[in-house]
Amino acid sequence: MDLHEFQSKEILSRYGVAVPPGRVAWTAEEAESIARELDARRFAVKAQVHAGGRGRAGGVRLAATSDQVRSIAADLLGTTLVTEQTGPAGRTVRRVYVEAGVEAKRDLYVAVLVDRRLGAVTLIATRRGGEDIEERVARDPSIVERLEIPPDGIGGADYAGFAARLDLDGAAGEHAAVLFRNLVQAFFDLDASLIEINPLAVTAAGDVVALDVKLVLDDNALFRHPDLAELRDVDSLDPVELQAQRNEINFVRMDGDIGVVVNGAGLALATHDMLRDAGGRPANFMDIRTTANSIDIARGLDLLFGNPGVKVVLVNIHGGGMTRCDTVAEAIGISVRRSGRRLPIVYRAAGNNAEFSRTVLNNCGVAYMPADDMAHAVALAVAAARGEAA
C-alpha cells in the first residue's frame, strides 16, 4: 500500500526522522493560510499523488510568498499530473502539501528495502540524490552504497560506518547514523516493503532533513496495522482493482483480450509468459487469494465478463489445500449465470477436486473447452481470441 508524502512524513517523524514543517491543503485558500502560519523564507508546494517524478512533471514548485503558494496551489488542484510513473492517464491532484523550504548544503538518496539477491533487508544510499537517481544508478551501479541488516535486528549494523562511507562526518555523520537506525527500526515496525528518502538534505549546521519521503507498506501485513490500513487513498486506486481487492483477489488491469483466472501469483506469471510466447495478450493479472470463497471469486470473474475487450476467459487452476478446484468451478457457474454474456471459456484444472470441478461446471450448464495441460490451455485461448480453431 502506497502512502502519500504527507502521511509518510508524519509517520516517520514519530521515529525521530526530521522533516520540514508543513501541512496538507485541499484548497488554494487553505494552502495560503498554511504558508502564512509557517512563516518561512520560501515554501515548497507539492502535488500529492502516488507517483515519482513529480518535480520534473511540474508537480513540485517553489514559492517565495504566501500569495505565490496560493497561486501554485490553484494551478495544481484539480489538474491531471502525468509523470513517467503514472502513464499517459496521469493522476488527479486532489490535495497539495505545503512545507517550509530548507537550505541544503548537499543532498543524498537513502532507502531501506528488501534486497532480493541477498534475501535480506538492506540500507542503500548514494552520495547525491535527485529525481534522476535511477538513470545515474543504471549508468553506474557502483555509486550505490549498501549495508545489509543482520537477521537478529538493527543492533549489529554499523550505521556510523555507513555514514562515513557517504562522506558524512562530524555532526552530519552523527545525525545520519541515528537517522539510518531509526529508518530501519521503522521498516520493521511498520512491516514496510520500501522506505525511500530522496532527497535527504544535509544543512550547514549538520542536520539531516527528509525533504521527500516514499513509504510503501506490505498489504499482507496490514491486518497487524488497522490504523495504517485506514490511510489507504481509495480515490487514487483503480475502482476495478479496488473491487477485486475487497473480494480477496489480487487484480491488475491490462490491455489484452484474454481474461485470465489463476490462483497463485507464480502460476499467474507463468501463464502470462506462456500466453505472450504464443502471441496472446492477457487482459488482466489475477491471483485468487487462499482466503477467497466462491462468491469472492465470482465477483472477480464478473470483472472479466463485464470487460467488453475480453474475447475469451482462460482458467488455469491448481487446487491446493486452501482453494479447491470445485470452489472455482462453482464461482464460474455463478458469474456465467448472472452476467448474461457468453464467452468462450478454456478450463484447465489440476490438484484437489480437479475432476469433480468439471462435474460442477457441467451441472451448472457452463460450456467450456477442457484443456489437458497449460500448453494446451494457452493454445486454445489464443486461438479462441483470434476466432480460430485450435
> Could you say which of 97, 109, 347, 368 is catalytic?
109
* Distance set, CA 127 to CA 9, 164, 180, 215 (Å): 22, 11, 14, 21
Closest by CA position to 193, among listed 244, 273, 242, 122: 122
CA–CA distance, 347 with 150 (Å, rounded to integer): 46
Residues 6+ apart with CB under 8 A from 227: none
Contact between 106 and 195 under an 8 Å Cβ cutoff? The reply is: no
Quote the cell numbers at residue 31: 494552502
CA–CA distance, 97 with 235 (Å, rounded to integer): 17
CA–CA distance, 233 with 63 (Å, rounded to integer): 27
> How many other CB atoms are there within 10 angstroms of residue 56's CB atom?
12
| 330 is an active site residue | no
Which string of DSSP letters, residue by residue, matches 115-130?
Answer: ETTTTEEEEEEESS-S
Contact between 215 and 11 under an 8 Å Cβ cutoff? The reply is: yes
Please report, as a single letter, which amino acid is at residue 193.
Answer: S
| 196 is an active site residue | yes
> Could you say which of 196, 248, 347, 368 is catalytic?
196
Closest by CA position to 248, among listed 218, 292, 284: 292
Where are the alpha helices (H) located in 190-293, listed in sequence order?
226-229, 239-246, 265-277
Q: Between vectors from CA 380 to CA 379 and to CA 386, what angle results, nearest 5°?
A: 90
The catalytic site residues sit at 109, 196
